[in-house]
A and B are shown apart, each in its own frame.
Chain A
Amino acid sequence: MNAGQQQLDGAQEGDLHFRVPAAAARLTGLRHALTEWAEHSGLSPEDRDALTLASYEAMANSVEHAYVGQLQGVLDLRAVRDEKRGRVVVTVTDYGQWKTPPIDPGSRGRGLPLIRGLTPNATITPSEHGTTVSMSWPIADV
């Protein structure tokens, strides 16, 4: 775990929950922690790669767009193994302003299409208090 990252109380044993400043430099350590966590999640290797990349894209989106013109905020990364439904769920939450992607995103803006290509289930919930991206993958060994 990188120094300064906070593993929050209240997370169930085996779940992953980090709250970090929404800064690009913080995402690398978070991604590595998630990759490590996913190794024991029951996902196929292909889905683990997809989970790591999609989660990174969601966090990158928060870093690049959520707090534009505001004081830097935080983002929450949660990863949960949902045994009952046989799936792994990752949510990324920020508390900034949702920016509607421009019609022509130009050379940027590949993050959201990529997320949708990497997970069968992506839900993006913008609200006035921030944005939550929720993604899930089926557990292979159930």
Chain B
Amino acid sequence: MSLDALFLSRLQFAFTVAYHIVFPAMTIGLAAFCVVLEWRWIRTGNAIYLALYRFWSKLFALAFGVGVVTGLVMAYEFGTNWSRFSAAAGNVIGPLMGYEVLSAFFLEAGFLGIMLFGLERVGQRLHFFATCMVSLGTLISMSWILAVNSWMQTPAGHEIIAGVFYVTSWWEAIFNPSFPYRFLHMGIAAFLASAMVVAGVSAWYLLHARHLEFASRSFSLAMGMVAVTAPLQVLVGDFHGLNTLEHQPMKVAAMEGLWETTEGMHLVLFAIPDQAAQTNHFQISIPKLGSMILTHHWDGEVKGLNEVSVADQPPVALVFYSFRVMVGIGFLLLAIGVISLWLRYKGRLYDTRWFHQLVLVSSPLGLVAILAGWIVTECGRQPWTVYGLMRTADSVSPVAAGAVATSLTLFVVVYGVLLFAFLLYFRRAIALGPALEAEPVPVHDERQRAAADAVAGH
């Protein structure tokens, strides 16, 4: 591959969107977590929940800031680097993105100020409403973005006239064949990944015997979320895979490292795919199990990469390995969820050190799985921008390679600095811990005042 504007633009988009997605993945979960915490505070008046809310909304704010500025980039990158795609598909994706801004982006941005700064300025109910609106905004945003991306994967509800897409049915375009699966899969992924982050932070406190009551509550809530979402994700992931098999068979072939159409496909556990030779090396596999999982028949036929020309194949090694990383992490998180249920049942959830260490080490893995999954789905879609209808090579903007090289370099530098700072301040906020006694509680009634005094140790 030459370092032309196409390759550099692909690299740049991949880098910027991968970097960006990590932050909404965290803020979707953290915002919902803040809703739960604030709800608990309102219901119980227990100031520990206010402390929890204040702490986690601080971390939420850090992640949200980076998410906003990197998301702004995506809105413009469709035009700067993929203008031909925008011109061709604008009729379809434009209004969907427009709705995203109107119904989600504005909602979360509009109420963010009250959520983060308005605790002392508005009534308790109104502030809770603001928190809910921010959380709702993140979810609606995710929905619209996934509708756009799903349409690119399984286009529907359109017609093509002179190389331009026109919508014939908005319902079919938005609720295209893969949308429900991708929506569920990503939604659950966001909650699972952020639950692991919360669990990891809480585990760190437990291991260092700091803020034990605070950390125990966080840990319990987070592990509860993991226990529910991890198995759900395995299930939804399976359904998603079946849907992908139906509509994007070459992506599945790449995921499975299947070079030739086969009946009774092996389930490949490990291999080194060789795209030049169109074969796998050092393959370790279980006969027939692949067909069983994908077609529910031991001898079911699964299409291989030989169905298309080599030039039209997705990058197999990248998709193959990423898929395994994602699934591997998925099962690890499932195991963690199951263990947490067992420990909870035994009453040992808060004092089992090896488990806390495991959770701490595994805490970023949900985000890693999200990245791996997106590599599978986006690289697996190649060489298409709109699957089967518009090629990536035909989608790029008429800009010079030098300009793209410049922007790409700047992105790596700027985003690198931002990531370093984010991690530094994230870590510092955790090291600082929640302010359990120092912060004055905005008191709205006597019950809360009594609870606040109790926590402060009067």
Q: Are chains A and B native binding partners rather than an unrelated pairing?
A: no
A interface, CB within 8 angstroms of B: none
Q: Which residues of chain B have a CB within 8 Å of any CB of chain A? A: none
